[in-house]
A and B are shown apart, each in its own frame.
Chain A
């Protein structure tokens, strides 16, 4: 085994160890190459950055992320680095600019060590839809790591970085975080600039960080947060201050979504883990309040209408005209479009583009897209109303633990239902956190989800620390 890389706290105290830690991280990534976490290792770039961070710290700069090694999902742009989105259609086209979130991480002293695998254009829940690589579960290589940010979750779980960026549209960070036994936070919509995140469902998309613990995740969130003049949907809400994170100094009112605990698809081990968590929270002095929000059962259909509608438009720019894959046999304009898009996109992306085009088409628009927007509003209102009565809402993150590779590829609806508990937070725009709780009978991680109030990520992470303290020791 590779030597475990020192924690960010240790590296921050002794920055001279940073170059060594970068080598250890790269060695770890290479050693686990068969797990398929990374698409591109930024070896030289990471070494140069580490040297710069050391120099900056030695020059007296206070860098909140000095010592953090970070992996970045490959749908987030870094200048001059290939941006694949896990797709053939981009054909390793290098990005011409850097995402605001990455710029801010680097400014705060983080070192980016590589770009990670994902479901093509973040469309999927298992990372099986990557056109470039299969990513395997770190504890059982016959299973998926979750998705779409599977590569980032695995990069963190194997210890090749301290934090990783994924992106969320309907659970693409929380679900793989739960599957791989790490923390994943979807911030409030607008909290982190989307500039440089390749759009899937723009009204739902957020860059979202993974880390091993809530405490280690918090500074990463702080560094990336805040209004960005290049993203008109970024929020000017005050950015949390990056002080040391502690548990809340009072007992919480925790909402428990009965609908989800009794959900037909919920695996028994996860149901009992959830009940165990509720008991332990109650014994710790917190108040648990039953919530019943039946309207949330429409979340998946609403999500797949809104997200695919936006995706059908967002992905129109990949047309073979200016960059990326152009089919060699295309000699007239309509063939450039048909053959390049037909050949460049994988089956799931094609399916979603067609679904999205359909729901926006004349004659179907009102029945699907418009109705979905209205129901989205109702779901959001229900969730916001519930959140006004409690501090946080507790649910399981996923209905099952990591499933077998190939188990759901032929049944898209079954695949879509892996996001059944995570999607409502995206529809409402509120933050939500997945924290590892225990393992199931197969030794696979189980994650619990806490949903919080808009722009109260700090409180949400502090609440997550309670779960981290109470979880059963294995």
Chain B
């Protein structure tokens, strides 16, 4: 790519809010139902029906605005965005244009080793349209279940200079939205969607050149690929003496091609005007404070603590703060004074392995932090071995007892009594004279053989550290 040019890109993220009902009616907000079953006169735009804003939408929008540090406007207003399309039953979309819910804010992205802020222009509330599906026979059918589902549109400043930065921003935003429970972030189901605005200019230029808009970027990878492709197209156009005109492009992930979109009916003059069916959206400082108190500590702050106070390595820092449930679980383990590094190792290692094996989401993991804490404590106190602890955790998938109950009921207490262990070791040395001879000839790997025999003889209950110490002593000093 011609490196004389730099990328200027911004993202518009549409996030479906995780509310129980749609934005302006009482229909359930749920994905995957039979087409056109989650509808009512309001979201279908029946003559005479009127929208009423759900309070839940305002709460969710408030959480998001707080999480990105945006300024929430105590008075915001809805506008109508007018255009004709079969999946838009009223002939207009209720959105916010001149007086958005929140403005400003930022989100930090990490690219390579550097972390930098991306500025956010605004976040406003709007309703989703239905879903048009174009069938093989050329006809189009419409599912109105999505009509009126609440969206928050988050518009970034054109702060991206590399396609990967846009990808990192989308990743961070998705993580944040999930973390605060505002959106499930599922890009395949369309609950999180992304458009990109792209222009390029020669390095050193101060003016912005004409930009294009790309729609239908349905994964983080496609955001990066599409921006890269469009960047190249624009550079080639300029280099061959051409111009870029303002247009909307559709990204096809399969072919990796951008095609100009058929213009929406009529021109792009949406004739925004204040939605007369809805009063100003009024929110108080008290309402905002209420949401602020409910807001969890965000991933960025958690990571800082994990890194600086707990001294965890980067992999653990990222994993343990990227999901609210995992992070809270981890932090619950620390409450009883367990060492962060040890708790992290269990969550990151054993727990994660079980999740992967079962293809579970963390919410499906059946062992509470209290029970895993019991396992960790038993291991740390030397009552059972690390391996026995691992085994205990696995058995907890189907056993609801606490670690202590399971250990005492099944006699799993670790054998660490020196006299008993010494007796076992001496007996083994007598049983395996040739192996002992090999050790004496210098084959130190025979230590492993004897350790294995000790574990076998004690059904894994021998404390490995004490056993090893006694074994070494006996090997080197007995005749």
Q: Which A residues are closer than 8 A to B by beta carbons?
A: 75-77, 83, 85, 90, 93, 95-97, 99, 194-199, 201-203, 229-233, 309-310, 312-313, 315-319, 321-322, 333-334, 337, 357, 360-362, 365, 369
Cβ of B448 within 8 Å of any chain A Cβ, yes or no, is no
* Distance between Cα atoms of A170 and B253 in the complex (Å): 53
Question: Which residues of B have CB within 8 Å of A202?
Answer: 276-277
Query: Shortest Cβ distance from A347 into chain B, in angstroms?
Result: 20
* Distance between Cα atoms of A202 and B44 in the complex (Å): 18
Count of chain B residues near A, Cβ 8 A: 27
| Given A97-B46, A232-B279, A357-B271, CB of A317 within 8 Å of CB of B52 | no
Cβ of B34 within 8 Å of any chain A Cβ, yes or no, is no
| Given A232-B53, A316-B92, A319-B91, CB of A310 within 8 Å of CB of B276 | yes
Stretch at the interface among B78-86, B99-107, B342-350: B78-86
User: In the complex, which of the residues A194, A198, A313 has the most CB atoms of chain B within 10 Å of its own CB atom?
Assistant: A313
Docked-complex contact B84 and A232, CB < 8 angstroms: no
* Distance between Cα atoms of A248 and B148 in the complex (Å): 48
- The residues in B between 237 and 295 inclusive whose CB is less than 8 angstroms from any CB of A are 265, 269, 271, 273, 276-279
10 smallest beta-carbon distances between A and B, as pairs = A316-B91, A202-B276, A360-B271, A203-B276, A196-B48, A198-B47, A77-B48, A317-B45, A362-B269, A232-B52
* Distance between Cα atoms of A77 and B278 in the complex (Å): 20
Q: Which B residues are closer than 8 A to A by beta carbons?
A: 41, 44-53, 80, 82, 84, 86, 89-92, 265, 269, 271, 273, 276-279
Query: Shortest Cβ distance from B82 into chain A, in angstroms?
Result: 5
* Distance between Cα atoms of A202 and B279 in the complex (Å): 12
Question: Which residues of A have CB within 8 Å of B48?
Answer: 75-77, 83, 95, 97, 99, 195-199
User: In the complex, which of the residues B49, B51, B90 has the most CB atoms of chain A within 10 Å of its own CB atom?
Assistant: B49
Cβ-closest chain A residue relative to B81: A313
Question: Which residues of B have CB within 8 Å of A309?
Answer: 273
Docked-complex contact A313 and B52, CB < 8 angstroms: no
The SS class assigned to the A binding surface is loop
Query: Shortest Cβ distance from B70 into chain A, in angstroms?
Result: 25
* Distance between Cα atoms of A317 and B277 in the complex (Å): 15
Cβ-closest chain B residue relative to A337: B84
Question: Which residues of A have CB within 8 Å of B89?
Answer: 317, 321-322
Query: Shortest Cβ distance from A98 into chain B, in angstroms?
Result: 10
Docked-complex contact A231 and B47, CB < 8 angstroms: no
Docked-complex contact A230 and B46, CB < 8 angstroms: no
Question: Which residues of A have CB within 8 Å of B269?
Answer: 361-362
| Given A313-B271, A322-B44, CB of A231 within 8 Å of CB of B80 | no
* Distance between Cα atoms of A76 and B269 in the complex (Å): 32
Question: Which residues of B have CB within 8 Å of A369?
Answer: 273
Query: Shortest Cβ distance from B215 into chain A, in angstroms?
Result: 19
Docked-complex contact B50 and A194, CB < 8 angstroms: yes
Question: Which residues of B have CB within 8 Å of A194?
Answer: 50
* Distance between Cα atoms of A309 and B82 in the complex (Å): 11
* Distance between Cα atoms of A311 and B80 in the complex (Å): 12
Docked-complex contact B84 and A316, CB < 8 angstroms: yes
| Given A198-B48, A232-B278, A316-B82, CB of A96 within 8 Å of CB of B271 | no
Question: Which residues of B have CB within 8 Å of A315?
Answer: 91
Question: Which residues of A have CB within 8 Å of B271?
Answer: 312-313, 357, 360-362, 365
Among A95, A319, A357, A360, point to the contact of B47 (Cβ < 8 A): A95
Query: Shortest Cβ distance from A454 into chain B, in angstroms?
Result: 15
